[in-house]
Each structure stands twice: as C-alpha cells, then as structure tokens.
Amino acid sequence: MNTVVCMKQVPDTETLIKVQGTGIATDGIKWVMSPYDEFAVEEALQQKEKMKAGAVTIVSLGPDRAIEAIRTGLAMGADNAVHINDSAYYNAADPFATAAVLAAAIKNLQYDCVFLGKQAIDDDSGQVPAMVGELLGIPVITQVLKLEVAADKSKATVTREVEGGQAVIEVSLPVVLSAQKGLNEPRYASLPGIMKAKKKPVDVKTAADLGVTAGPATAIKEMTLPPARQAGKIIGGDDAAAKAAALAKALQEEVKII
C-alpha cells in the first residue's frame, strides 16, 4: 500500500511563545514534528508493515529547517519525501494555500491513503485535511482513531471520534484521513533508522514547480497572547457555613454563573 503523509514542523510544545508582528519570535525555538503528524506517520508505517508492501512518502511545506522534521519521519521509516520549500507559501500560513501545494505534490505520487494530523499544533486551523481531500477529489475522514484497510485495498473501515462517542465508517480508497490522538503510539526513530535517513531521497520543490498559482485566501491581521489569568480569590469566613454562603454569593453576584 502506498501512502502519503503530510507533515508540518512546529515549535516544540514546551516553547515559551513570544508574539512578534503578526507572527511569533522564532529565535531560540526548538522545532519538532507536529504531534498529530507523528500519529499520521506512525499509521502510514504500520499500514505498510501490515501489507508488507508499498512506500511511505512524506510531503511537507516549510523552510530549510523543515528538513530536520522530514529526516525524523524518514528515520522513523518513511521511504522518501517531497519538501515544498517556498517562502510565499509557508510564510502565508494560510490553510488553502497550504492545501493547494500539498495536493499538487500528492497528485504526482501514487497513493491509496493520505494521512495528516487532525491539526498542526501551532496555527491550529484544522482545515488542511478537508481541503486536501477536496482538491484531490477523494473522500475525507477526520479525527481517525482506528483504521482497517481491506487486503485488496478497495475499501477501509475507519473509526472516528464524534461528540461523546465513536462512528465507524466504511469508505472507498483512495481516502484522506486525519489522525486523532489514540490512533497509535508513535515509535522512536531507531539509531539504524537515523543513520539511513540521510541517504533517502528528498525532492525539493517550489509552488511554481508544482504548477500552483493559488494565493492565500486569508491574511493574519494581528497576533496577541491570551490575556493573563487574573489572581484567584480566597473566600474567607468564620466557619464552613459562612464560607459556603460567601462563595455562593460571589458566584451569583461577581461571576454570575449561578
């Protein structure tokens, strides 16, 4: 089974974010593969191992440094990669423009499934999976928790998360699937994997190489941090009854939630 994994390099989840203009200050940031994309890579590898055939191709839009996350995917076991290194597109951080270049790159590849994380953990738009599916003209299932592909690769049974439960869906292939936490446990890149990663082919492309002219559909006007949390308030009182009364009063009159 041939699969494509769309992967984004993002700031490490422990990064202290500082706003700069309409973006964030990037100096000193440690960059990692977006955690939901790790589930996507892992699933693609597991499906390949189950079918004992096929290739896993990573497609990533990002600047030069994105190669580190691409190499991590290759070290985990992916076979090759397409690195779309085009500043007009990665700087735009626009879901449609991103989906347009990813889809254009995927069209040149052979695939039964396209995996993505359900969202990148930096911009959190969550729109790219659906847009990629639309541009490729194939079905999309988001928030995937479990995947079983039929041996003849004609269809798949997919469990996805829905509000308060799970839905089981049968879908024809090819299909776009976005990974939710719980789909699998991503592996660590093994040392032999890391040593082999450098020798695996990475195709570097620009949007023009892929014939994409679609520009961004959105623009970021302003970036702000959430307001600082206000200090808590300690409810006083002589005894438990008095404290409870004071708490009820505060909830009614100050917070206005009861």
Q: Which parts of this chain interact with another protein (CB under 8 A)? A: 68, 71-72, 75, 188-192, 194-195, 197-198
Instruction: Report the distance separating Cα 26 and Cα 245, nearest Å.
Output: 49
* Shortest distance, position 13 Cβ to another protein, whole Å: 12
- Find out whether 186 and 72 touch, Cβ atoms under 8 Å: no
Residue linked to tokens 């988001």:
142
* Shortest distance, position 124 Cβ to another protein, whole Å: 23
* Shortest distance, position 187 Cβ to another protein, whole Å: 9
CB of 81 or CB of 93, closer to another protein:
81
Give the dihedral of Cα atoms 26, 28, 31, 35; nearest 10 deg: -90
* Shortest distance, position 32 Cβ to another protein, whole Å: 8
Nearest to 44 by CA among 142, 238, 187: 187
CB of 33 or CB of 140, closer to another protein:
33
Residue 142 neighbours by CB distance under 10 Å: 19
Distances, alpha carbon 78 to alpha carbons 66, 95, 187, 202, 205, in Å: 15, 25, 12, 11, 19
- Find out whether 258 and 252 touch, Cβ atoms under 8 Å: yes
CB of 68 or CB of 148, closer to another protein:
68
CB of 172 or CB of 190, closer to another protein:
190
CB of 198 or CB of 233, closer to another protein:
198
* Shortest distance, position 67 Cβ to another protein, whole Å: 8
